[in-house]
């Protein structure tokens, strides 16, 4: 199965290059800018992995099912890619995936329109998959946008900042990863009970994926990401939200540092040191571990075997990133 998935992911990669071609060479260049910069491709991988949960797999799959799974894998990755272009404009980011962000290389107008172009491409492909896929894609897109809006507005008066943040993550990250599992299971002909369970599993794994990034931003010096990025930008994350809930007088300095963006590098280092020694980091890790365990529990609808093991391992991989 591993070899089969690798081969299909190669097909996805080739198809993504085809789907980002425009009649205008500049649009092709801009659309491929982040695509060729890399990325984990966890969404298309999850489409294909969930597609293994159907009644047949491997060489027994019909050419129509193979085509639908490939198309769905491209839909979710193009949607994700489009959202990155828009996110970088809103965040005024300079770098994405180790390369210049599109808004920094060109300008905001180019980045926004390129994102729109990619959303249009994903919509064209979704239409090929039929009305059920169009409905799911529309619902997912609404959740993505709602998550972005909630993040932009911040928690309202009387709102719990942690609950608000988890709603943002569920919308911005969990929704598309959840849809990826639905696409794979649905188009592979899995039983509705199985498709529903995998969709719920992926929603939890998707949230855990983002929360593990939150932890890595504080805890890891070897993740390929500069520690403290969120602190510099004043972005509240799971560990910092747990930390700011503390009423311990000894945490007053940390709460002061976390009150806004930190521009002084010495203060960033100080905040990282305090957070790494704070129980909030353990709380965050425990929260992610619980999400992963809940996700794996949903897999009981699947029989023991390679597919369930792979999905278990997929969830563990997400959790282990922050352990």
Q: What is the mean pLDDT of each run of 10 residues along the chain (323 residues)?
A: 90 95 90 84 95 84 92 97 84 67 80 91 96 96 94 90 96 96 96 96 96 90 68 91 93 93 93 95 95 96 93 90 69
pLDDT of res. 222? 52
pLDDT of res. 32? 86
pLDDT of res. 62? 87
pLDDT of res. 260? 85
pLDDT of res. 110? 84
Dist. CA 74–CA 140, nearest whole Å:
15
Non-local (6+) Cβ contacts of 117 within 8 A are 22, 27, 30, 31, 82
Dist. CA 242–CA 214, nearest whole Å:
12
pLDDT of res. 91? 67
Quick one: tokens of 28?
Answer: 């092709």
pLDDT of res. 93? 63
**At 175, phi and psi to the nearest 5?**
-65, -45
Could you count the other beta carbons within 10 Å of the beta carbon of residue 160? 12
The helix/strand/coil state of 271 is helix
The helix/strand/coil state of 42 is helix
pLDDT of res. 251? 93
Could you count the other beta carbons within 10 Å of the beta carbon of residue 311? 25
pLDDT of res. 61? 82
**Helix, strand, coil percentages for the chain (3-state, nearest 5):** 75, 0, 20
Residue whose tokens read 């059920």 = 132
pLDDT of res. 2? 84
**By C-alpha distance, which of 241, 178, 233 is closest to 215?**
241
The helix/strand/coil state of 74 is helix
pLDDT of res. 173? 94
Contact 67, 179 (CB under 8 A): no
**At 173, phi and psi to the nearest 5?**
-115, -50
Dist. CA 63–CA 182, nearest whole Å:
20
Dist. CA 126–CA 120, nearest whole Å:
10
**By C-alpha distance, which of 239, 272, 242 is closest to 257?**
272
pLDDT of res. 274? 95
Dist. CA 97–CA 216, nearest whole Å:
16
pLDDT of res. 223? 46
- Exposed (0-12), middle (13-18) or buried (19+): which is 58, by Cβ within 10 Å? exposed
Q: Estimate the crossing angle of helix 2-19 against helix 25-35, to 10 degrees.
A: 150
Contact 251, 259 (CB under 8 A): no
Contact 198, 268 (CB under 8 A): no
What pTM did the predictor assign? 0.91
Distances (CA, A) of 248 to 141, 215, 245, 279: 41, 22, 9, 12
Q: Which helix (H) or strand (E) holds 95?
A: strand 95-96
């Amino acid at each position: 199965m591993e070899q089969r998935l690798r081969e299909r992911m190669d097909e996805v990669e080739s198809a993504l290059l085809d789907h980002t071609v425009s009649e205008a060479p500049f649009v092709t260049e801009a659309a491929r800018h982040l695509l060729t910069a890399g990325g984990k491709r966890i969404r298309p991988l999850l489409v294909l992995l969930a597609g293994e949960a159907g009644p047949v797999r491997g060489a027994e799959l019909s050419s129509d099912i193979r085509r639908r799974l490939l198309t769905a894998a491209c839909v979710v990755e193009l949607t994700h890619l489009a959202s990155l272009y828009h996110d970088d404009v809103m965040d005024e980011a300079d770098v994405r995936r180790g390369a210049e962000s599109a808004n920094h290389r060109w300008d905001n107008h180019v980045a926004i329109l390129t994102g729109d172009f990619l959303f249009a491409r994903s919509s064209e492909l979704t239409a090929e998959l039929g009305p059920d896929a169009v409905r799911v894609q529309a619902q997912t897109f609404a959740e993505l946008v709602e998550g972005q809006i909630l993040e932009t507005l911040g928690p309202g008066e009387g709102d719990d900042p942690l609950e608000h943040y988890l709603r943002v993550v569920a919308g911005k990250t969990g929704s598309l990863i959840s849809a990826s599992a639905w696409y794979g299971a649905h188009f592979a002909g899995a039983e509705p009970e199985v498709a529903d369970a995998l969709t719920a599993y992926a929603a939890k794994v998707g949230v855990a994926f983002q929360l593990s990034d939150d932890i890595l931003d504080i805890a890891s010096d070897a993740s390929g990401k500069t520690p403290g990025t969120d602190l510099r930008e004043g972005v509240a994350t799971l560990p910092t939200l747990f930390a700011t809930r503390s009423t311990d007088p000894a945490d007053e300095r940390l709460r002061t540092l976390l009150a806004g963006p930190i521009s002084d590098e010495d203060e960033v280092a100080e905040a990282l040191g305090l957070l790494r020694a704070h129980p909030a980091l353990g709380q965050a890790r425990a929260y992610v571990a619980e999400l992963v365990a809940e996700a794996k529990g949903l897999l009981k609808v699947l029989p023991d075997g390679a597919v369930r093991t792979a999905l278990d391992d997929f969830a563990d991989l997400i959790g282990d990133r922050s352990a």
